[in-house]
Amino acid sequence: MREYSKEWLEKAHVDYFSQFMALWLGFNSWYRSQYSDLGKNDRSLIDKMKSDFTGRNHIYTRFCDLMAIASIKENLRFKSNLESLHYTLNRASTKYPDGYYNYPITFEYALFAYKNRKVTTGYKNLIRTKGQHDKIKLDEIYITDDNEKIFPCLLEIIYQIRCYLFHGDIEPSSENHEVVKYCYFILWDLMN
């Protein structure tokens, strides 16, 4: 009898490019409904969500819960996925599109304010050192403990990766697949 393990393993491989696209559609539906008073322009809606730190923004509330202690298991998984996203972004070397400041998309150069995308002040360094006081530890690395800084930057990173993917501007390499995979995991946790 012939062994089919290799063929079945190939079929079992999860394609996070398509999974992320399906998840984004659910996310898109949520924020268009939540902020319907702003119209249908994705950029306006994303910018509103990045700056809405009220109870109206359920994604931000969930983010704060996950950064605190929603449950020990959820908290550890979420922080591990954040750290993995940091490392995969550094390996992938994806840059912000033309018309932005010429930075790679990383936690060190996280776009905070879209309107300031053409100047250095629009970007924040989320990474902290062990000696700094305003930090939280993920697994091995430290990031700022300011949720109102992390959340907009993280949302922008995920949105930029979404734009590259939806417009076919991202190379389907293994490095980029890993970036999309961790964007998917993080967005999944935020949506649930």
Which is more confident, 181 or 3?
181
Based on the structure, what is the number of domains in the chain?
1
Structure tokens at 96: 């912000």
Whether 8 is covered by a domain: the verdict is no
For the chain, how are helix, strand and coil distributed in percent, rounded to 5? 60, 5, 35
Question: DSSP 3-state assignment of 24?
Answer: helix
Q: Which residues have a Cβ under 8 Å from the Cβ of 115 and sit 6 or more positions away?
A: 122
Query: Domain range for residue 35?
Result: 16-191
Whether 186 is covered by a domain: the verdict is yes
- pLDDT of res. 160: 97
Whether 6 is covered by a domain: the verdict is no
Which is more confident, 40 or 107?
107
Q: Phi, psi at residue 45, to the nearest 5°?
A: -70, -40
What is the spatial distance between Cα 154 and Cα 86, in angstroms, rounded to a whole number? 10
Q: Which residues have a Cβ under 8 Å from the Cβ of 119 and sit 6 or more positions away?
A: 101
**Do the Cβ atoms of 69 and 75 come closer than 8 Å?**
yes
**pLDDT over 90 (residue 42):** yes
Question: H-type helices in 52-167, by residue range?
Answer: 58-67, 72-92, 147-166
Whether 3 is covered by a domain: the verdict is no
- Alpha carbon separation from 39 to 3, 35, 156 (Å, rounded): 55, 8, 19
What is the spatial distance between Cα 36 and Cα 83, in angstroms, rounded to a whole number? 33
**Do the Cβ atoms of 176 and 169 come closer than 8 Å?**
no
Whether 52 is covered by a domain: the verdict is yes
pLDDT per residue over 62-110, tens digit each?
A: 999 999 976 788 999 999 999 999 999 999 989 999 889 999 999 999 9
**What's the mean pLDDT in 31-51?**
95
Whether 9 is covered by a domain: the verdict is no
pLDDT per residue over 7-39, tens digit each?
A: 888 878 899 999 999 999 999 999 999 999 998
Instruction: With cut-offs at 50, 70 and 90, classify the pLDDT of residue 152.
Output: very high
pLDDT per residue over 105-140, tens digit each?
A: 999 999 999 999 999 999 999 999 999 999 999 999
- pLDDT of res. 70: 60
**pLDDT over 90 (residue 2):** no
Whether 11 is covered by a domain: the verdict is no
Q: Phi, psi at residue 103, to the nearest 5°?
A: -115, 155
Whether 2 is covered by a domain: the verdict is no
